[in-house]
Structure 1
Amino acid sequence: MKFHIFTFGCQMNVCDSDWLCRSLTAMGFEQGAEEEADLFLINTCSVREKPEQKIYSLLGRLTSYWKKNKDVFVGVGGCVAQQVGKKFFQRFPHVRLVFGTDGIAMVPQTILRLISEPELRVSLLDFEDYYPERENNWPEKMPAQAYVNIMQGCDNFCAYCIVPYTRGRQKSRSSKAILDECRTLVNLGVKEITLLGQNVNSYGLDKFGDGVSFAELLYQVAAIDGLKRLRFTTSHPKDIADEVIKAFGELSCLCPQLHLPLQSGSNRILKLMGRKYTREEYLDIVDKLRKVCPDIALTTDLIVGFPGETEEDFEQTLEMIELVRFENSFSFKYSDRPGVRAEKMQPKVLEEVKVRRLAVLQELQEKLTGESYAGRVGKIDEVLVEGLSKKQGKDMKFWRGRDSGGRVVNVPCSSDRDLTGEIVRVKIVEAKKHSLLGEWVDE
């Protein structure tokens, strides 16, 4: 049987889909293109409204395969599955499996059961009271980059966020399991590891912690022989410890990049959001980071049009963007998510106002990104090659990778050698809108 996986949303979903792919392959299933598949798995995201709408559209499209072949079936997982649950069964006859974020560990064996019992439909939606470990089924060699989950869920309950309801309360994974996985990955060829969690800064602070803090975990992972690069995401500003900030100045493999969601530059809106920090505290964190790591690339998340946001609040957000000079930001119009506190908050900001504010914010960010990228010209950095660039020259191959700050760098090379997974020294010669152009530096 051939399977095809659709993945929406965050890196944690990407990590989960990779695990599903390895597990099914180890059981004898074959990964195939959409038009070849008999089994479809959709890993969903419900943080914003648009990804959720995409799921329903996709399920409608997949109905055509089921109408031609009634053996075709779909499993829906992730945050939307946790939220919608068994209602998928009522609306879509080809959906036979619905699994939540804690139920993913049981998916491979459940698929075998569904194949043997054609009339069966199964939901795996219960939250576990521990971090459910999984059998990894590693291949003989891994790509150069890998994600490692260190925790699941979130205890913050920000007013706009559905994550605590769809991924459950925070559950830290044991430090031993994390370190064992990281060592295995490095032995299999991984050069860069990204540690993942809804709020990595609070790792170990829940009842499942084993006494190892996030800062201590960073130092232990960084000490693994053969690991070249280490990153982590996502960080909540209220929980970032001075020891974590200090690590950016002490750990050579910890990349000078941090995604630190701001959400709003207004203290009034931050309080309504339940973010538990002020703009002054956020700026203090930025100052500490740049003192220990002057070249750090800071990115962020921003919401415009949160209920009650005034023009003054929005101007304060723009002011914060300029003060911090974020290298990039992910910005969104506020949208109500079912069951969260902000859903009942008033007054709602008019849609046309949200559209205008988002356009203004993104124009400012584009300007700052351009200035930051222009400032990279002439600098030499190491680039981890991810593969061939989408755009190729007539007489020259272009390779695509990321520098230590996470920026996309395209580099021409006349060699026919496959450079995927190699770390190469590159001099930046030109700044594009969303990427950099580099040239090889002779060793």
Structure 2
Amino acid sequence: MITSTLKILSEADKEACELVKVSEEELTVDKKRLFIESYGCQMNFSDSEIVAAVMRNADFATTSSEDNADVIFLNTCAIRDNAEQKVRNRLQYLNNLKKKRPGLIIGVLGCMAERLKTKLLDEEKMVDIVAGPDSYRDLPRLVEEAETGQKAVNVFLSREETYADISPIRLNSNGITAYISIMRGCDNMCSFCVVPYTRGRERSRDPFSIVEEARLLFADGYKEVTLLGQNVDSYKWKKEAEKGAEPSQMVNFAQLLEMVALIHPDLRVRFSTSHPKDITDDVLWTMKKYENICNYIHFPAQSGNSRVLKVMNRTYDREWYIQKIDRIREILGEDCGISTDMITGFCTETEEEHQDTLSLMEYVKYDYAYMFAYSERPGTPAAKKLKDDVPEEVKKRRLQEVIAVQRQHSSERNEMALGKIQKVLVEGPSKRSDADLCGRNDQNKVVIFPREHYKKGDYVYVLVTECSSATLIGKAVEAVLA
């Protein structure tokens, strides 16, 4: 599907895309130790927190070092070939480690496990356990099976599993921000995407369990939650009426957003990802109604050309997408942060169609973007039916042009904040200096300012005095100026 992970992102999002390891070290006696690494999207990081909870319930302890682990899980991504290659390289290292420690159990979880299934066990013999995204409850049994020398596999995709009753263990947490998975799977059969085949069909989680999870996080001191789904706008939960009971209940995404926002005004709410075909005015008006719902939308376009969008099976065209952008700006204002995904060199894309992508970017002026050169993923409709006919050098040249345009737009959008006051949720010290603090504003942009007397978890008003294409820099003020 996609290669080249060149991006222009906020610093916070760059960190979210890096390797994450379990950081919680537990004092344990006679417990087996689990070490987890996560690769890929936010959903994978959220899933690792579910895995940790499942294994904790099975009396495992977590460790921050592979050197003293009894079980090592790699929670994997299959959306790009280079993501899989990174995991394969890591498995080679772990297999060398296993030669010195024969009792070590190695498992591959998630999308790569679902895509390759038993190949990792039978042909490559690199792992002891293969578990898909819907089989995490079965992991304790799979570990027991692997310990006897058997092949341990569960890649069954469920139409019901949402893990709604499992309280995630927050890994590598800053104690301020957290992810909440609201749905699993995807029904959008985009021709380039492997997700429907690795995560299964779409199903929505009970909204009351979502609200309770967010409420407990806020009670524990968290100040921001991000509601996660492959396509949050298609969230739809229904409880059928029972005889003599309450009538049927239906909750859509706009209603869920409101339910979470009403927990407390100091709990910020974000969400990702929105599909252009499904976002509604109700969602936008709900965002406008509540100050604690962040004024930011990740809104993937993938291409700016209608014919290419049709080949991608995105189910909207350029005009539809522009109308949605116009509606976002109309309801939420020009300050609303908008980011996107763009693929260059998709099957049959011409130079003129590439120019349509650049012109769409000029029209929207995204705050930042995830940008990729296309490469096909096995098993997708594009791999089966379309010819990957754009030369690699052309893909890369087009990608560089997209990156250059986005870099300019990121700078322009950040310059709009100069001289303005931003409400910033402090996430911790700046990477460059402990004398500065770092947080994000409403539009998901990183803001850096002098520490003074402020601390992690505070909301601070910051007057922006300078910026780069990725960061806003300023100084704290006591209150919003009139």
Same-fold status (TM-score > 0.5): yes
Partner residue, 2:261? 222
Q: CA deviation at 1:324?
A: 0.4
RMSD of aligned alpha carbons: 2.2
Aligned to 1:269: 308
Q: 2:130 matched to 1:98?
A: yes
Q: 1:52 aligns with which of 84, 92, 117?
A: 84
**Counterpart mapping for 1:40-79 below 5 A:** 40-79=72-111
Structure 1 residue 421 displacement after superposition = 2.2
One-letter code of the match for 1:48?
R
Number of aligned positions between the proteins? 435
Deviation for aligned residue 1:70: 0.5
1:368 match: 409
Instruction: Provide, for residues 153-206 of structure 1, a one-character-per-residue CA deviation record: whole Å limited to 9, x for no partner.
Output: 111101111110000011111222222222222222221111111111111179
Measured after TM superposition, the shift of residue 131 of structure 1 is: 2.6
What is the deviation of 1:22?
A: 4.2
User: Post-superposition shift, 1:38?
Assistant: 3.0
Q: State the AA in 1 paired with 2:166.
A: E
Cα-to-partner distance string for 1:85-127 (whole Å, 9 max, x where unaligned): 111112554521111111123324543x247x33133112101
TM-score, normalised relative to structure 1: 0.93
How do 1:257-406 residues align onto structure 2 when only pairs under 5 Å count? 257-294=296-333, 295-343=335-383, 344-346=385-387, 348-392=389-433, 397-406=435-444
Cα distance, 1:37 vs structure 2: 2.8
1:78-117 aligned within 5 A = 78-91=110-123, 93=125, 95-108=127-140, 110-111=142-143, 113-114=144-145, 117=147
Specify the SS of the correspondent of 1:308. Answer: coil
2: CA distance, partners of 1:324 / 1:438: 26
Deviations 1:414-442 (A, max 9, x none): 45x7x222222211121023211121112
Q: 1:108 to 1:432 in 2, by over 3 A?
A: farther
Rounded to whole Å, the distance in 1 between the matches of 2:138 and 2:399 is: 41
Contact 2:414 2:472 survives alignment (8 Å): yes
Q: Which residue of 1 aligns with 2:445?
A: 407
Distance 1:184 1:91 in 2: 45
Q: Does 1:20 align with 2:20?
A: no
SS in 1 for 2:221: coil
Corresponding residue SS for 1:342: helix
Name whichever of 281-290 and 26-35 sits farther off: 26-35
Identity of aligned residues (%): 37
Uncovered stretches (5+) of structure 1, i.e. residues with no partner: none
Deviation at 1:240, TM superposition (A): 0.8
Is 1:238 matched with 2:270? no
Query: What one-letter code is carried by the residue in structure 1 that aligns with 2:75?
Result: N
Check the 8 A contact 1:175/1:210 in 2, yes or no: no
CA distance in 1, matches of 2:214, 2:359: 40
- Does residue 154 of structure 2 align to residue 118 of structure 1? no
Question: How far 1:4 moved relative to its partner?
Answer: 2.1
Partner Cα distance (1:286, 1:206) in 2: 30
Alignment correspondent of 2:27: none
Q: 2:196 aligns with which of 164, 184, 199?
A: 164
Structure 1 residue identity aligned to 2:376: D
1:95 match: secondary structure: coil
Deviation at 1:23, TM superposition (A): 4.3
Tell me the amino acid that sits aligned with residue 151 of structure 2: R
Structure 1 counterpart of 2:404, one-letter code? E
1: CA distance between counterparts of 2:270 and 2:66?
Answer: 32
For residue 130 of structure 1, what is the aligned residue in structure 2?
160
Deviation by residue 1:332-378 (Cα, 9 ceiling, x = unmatched): 01111111111131361000000100001100100110111122121
Letter in 2 for 1:277: Y
- Tell me if the contact between 2:34 and 2:62 (Cα under 8 Å) persists in the aligned partners: yes
Q: Of the two structures, which has the highest relative contact order with CA contacts closer than 8 Å and spacing of 6 or more?
A: 2
Counterpart in the other structure of 1:11: 42
Q: Secondary structure of 1:15's match?
A: helix
